[in-house]
Each structure stands twice: as C-alpha cells, then as structure tokens.
Amino acid sequence: MARVTIEDCLQNVDNRFALVHLAAKRVRQVREGAELTVKSKNEDVVAVLREIAAGRIKPGKRDEPEEE
C-alpha cells in the first residue's frame, strides 16, 4: 500500500468519528508498548491507519489486534 487514505480506512469503520476514536485509542496502545501488526517506517499515527485500512484493527468491544 503506497499511501493510506481515509477512504481506505472507512471501508472497515462505519464513520469518520469512529475512525478517529479507534485510531486515537490504538495510537495510545502502541505508544504504551503494544506491537504494530503491520510493518511501517512511518510515524505511529500513519502505521495505525495502515492497520485499520488492512482490516487488522476493527472497532468493537476490544480495540486490539485480531490474532491470526
């Protein structure tokens, strides 16, 4: 994925508000030591958006990576 867009993320999240909430929560988790589920040389925020766009992080009762 060359560039992550909001539209890519919205395919996996219902609306922009939910996307912002999910991304903010996940960024906090990553900064507290959680591992990213995708490889990225970008900042935490971009890496988290890549996770959401890839469908690895989904809104729900648990906003943690899905285990494969």
**Model pLDDT, residue 3:** 84
Q: Which domain holds residue 48?
A: 6-53
C-alpha dist (Å) from residue 39 to 47, 50, 56: 8, 9, 12
Q: Could you tell me the pTM of the whole model?
A: 0.81
Predicted confidence band of residue 67 (pLDDT cuts 50, 70, 90) = low
Residue 43 domain-assigned?
Answer: yes
**Model pLDDT, residue 60:** 78
Residue 67 domain-assigned?
Answer: no
The C-alpha atoms of residue 24 and residue 19 are separated, in whole angstroms, by 8
Residue 46 domain-assigned?
Answer: yes
